[in-house]
Structure formats: structure tokens, C-alpha cells
Amino acid sequence: MYTDYKFENNSLMENIKSYYEKFDMSSVYDHTLDVVQQVDMIKNLEDDIRAKCVTAALLHDLGRVVAKNDIVNFCTRNGKIVSSNELNYLGILHQFASRIIAHQVFKIEDLDILESIECHTTLKKNPSIIDKIVFLSDKLSWKEKEHIDLIQEMKNRYEHSLDEAIFYYLESVHKQRDELACYHEWTDDAYNYFKEEIMQCPFDTSITP
């Protein structure tokens, strides 16, 4: 159902759009375009890095089409070992489902792209520049009222450094970890990684918005 889709043209963007329309999820496609726009606003990116970030951003939420009552089976059938922590909040699994669909349906082979899709919600320790950009672009695209103050402060810090904005988000999640249905182990790994990086050296300011 989710991986047997056949496309009629060679345009990645059009194929993604039609894929979301098939599952009546055009709102997720709209969010996807917002994330791509955030990527496009980043300066000083090498062309190949930017291209990978844009592709990952286009594909990052494909797993949203998988129904919650099927996502555990979908991920398990495709090699993802679902942890007991993830079972507490099935929504977290969409990032893993997105990687599966990007690979199987959209024939993405580039590991840089696939891995950034897979961690776009949680991030992970020692992330690549592509992981960082897709992760942050996803968060900065949020429009819900409850996130306004968080996003504004992230944008303020982003003016100084990509890493500083990411750490601010991770720290805010870490402080609320006991209130969350699923504080993912990858997020905790990322938080501790960035915390250690801060202690060792200043933030990287080579990539700016």
C-alpha cells in the first residue's frame, strides 16, 4: 500500500505532491514546502550540500502517510526494531517510515539524505551538517501558536550559529523530558553531544541564515 506507488513523471517534487494527494495528506506537502523554504534561506552552503538538504527536506515527512495502527508493523517489516519507548508515542516512528519510503518508493540511495530523514525529528549524536540543517529547518517551519516563543528564540540564536539554535531546542526538550510520552534516546544523545561540544569549543558560525 505504501511502497507500491508508481509515478507518471520524473519530477521529484511533483511525485511527492501526488504521493501525498494519494493519501489525502496535502497539508503535509504544504509543510514540506515550508521546510524547503527554510533550507533555501541558509547562506554559505556548498551546492552539493544544499542539494542534499533540499532533497531530504522534500522527503522527510513521507512516513506521515502510514496509519498509526499500522506503523509499528510497517517499520518492523522493513527492519526497524521498535523500542518500548517508541511504543509510548507512535508518532516518533514516522521519521523511520520516511526513510523506508524514500528508499523503496523514491529510490533514494544516498546515505547522507536517508540518514538525515531518519533523524529529522530526534536528531542524534555527532550529526552531519545535512542532519543539522534538515532538523532545524523542520523546527523553524512550525506555525502552531504554542511554539511561537520557542521558534523566535531559536531564530534569535540562529543569527549567531546553527549549532546554538539546535542546542537551545534540545535543551528545552531535555528540561521537559519527564513530561513527554517519549523522550527519545537519540534526542538525549544529541543533547549530551552538543552540551559536550559547548564545553570544548565555541559554536560553529560558518553557516548562517
Q: What is the residue extent of each domain of the chain?
A: 12-200
pLDDT at 159 over 60: yes
Question: Could you give the CA distance from residue 121 to residue 56 in angstroms, rounded to a whole number?
Answer: 13
Write the DSSP symbol of residue 114.
H
Query: Mean pLDDT throughout 95-124?
Result: 98
Q: What is the dihedral of CA 61, 63, 68, 74, to 10 degrees?
A: -160
Q: What are phi and psi of 208, to 5 degrees?
A: -130, 155
If pLDDT is split at 50, 70 and 90, which confidence band does 6 have?
A: confident
Question: Could you give the CA distance from residue 199 to residue 15 in angstroms, rounded to a whole number?
Answer: 44
Residue 1: its pLDDT value, please? 84
CATH of the domain spanning 12-200:
1.10.3210.10
pLDDT at 202 over 60: no
Question: Could you give the CA distance from residue 120 to residue 22 in angstroms, rounded to a whole number?
Answer: 23
Contact between residue 97 and residue 74 where contact means Cβ atoms under 8 Å apart: yes
Residue carrying C-alpha cell 507512535: 90
Q: What are the DSSP E strand ranges found in 152-195?
A: none
Residue 206: its pLDDT value, please? 46
pLDDT at 207 over 50: no
Q: What are phi and psi of 59, to 5 degrees?
A: -100, -5
pTM for the full model? Answer: 0.92
If pLDDT is split at 50, 70 and 90, which confidence band does 20 have?
A: very high
